[in-house]
Amino acid sequence: MAPSAHVLVIASVTATSSDLLAALQARAQRSPATFTLLVPGTGPGLAGRKAVEPQLQAALEQWRAAGLEADGMTGDQNPIDAVTEIWNPGSFDEVIVSTLPGQASKWLRWDMPHRVASLTGALVTHVTAMDMRPEPPHGPPPTKETSPLGPLGVLAWGGKR
């Protein structure tokens, strides 16, 4: 039997995403793998780490129910610092970073997948949790405030003199 790869998974709100779970299952089918979920805290210190503990446990239950060998931990509120705290090249073979899609993701704006790759030197796979994208706004567009002067209202910008 081939040795099992140790995969570090970094996720926050996407930890219970069905897209992430499908990516983990696909990874496990390629070759044996064990997964360690790292969920950054929501705030500083122990309180921030404890706040994400229910999310960590829910994700691990879901992953284990799907047949994956998984454990996890909470980390610093800054995801890069959280990775730095636990990264050990002898402990992990590869990394999966799970983010929200597009502009909804702070981690994509921070270029997390590339920063983690630079920090660790490991193969980093980016998983986008499309099933967790925010709902588009519904209803009519907001009404604009109209000036009684119509288009000439711009001439009144100077205020009273």
Classify residue 36: in a domain, yes or no. yes
Give the full edge-to-edge strand order of the sheet including 5-10.
69-75, 33-40, 5-10, 94-99, 123-128
Statement: residue 159 has pLDDT above 80: no
CATH number at residue 112: 3.40.50.620
Question: Which residues form the domain of 63?
Answer: 5-133
- pLDDT at res. 146: 64
Number of domains in the chain: 1
Tens of pLDDT, residues 37-92: 999 999 999 999 999 999 999 999 999 999 999 999 999 999 999 999 999 888 99
Classify residue 17: in a domain, yes or no. yes
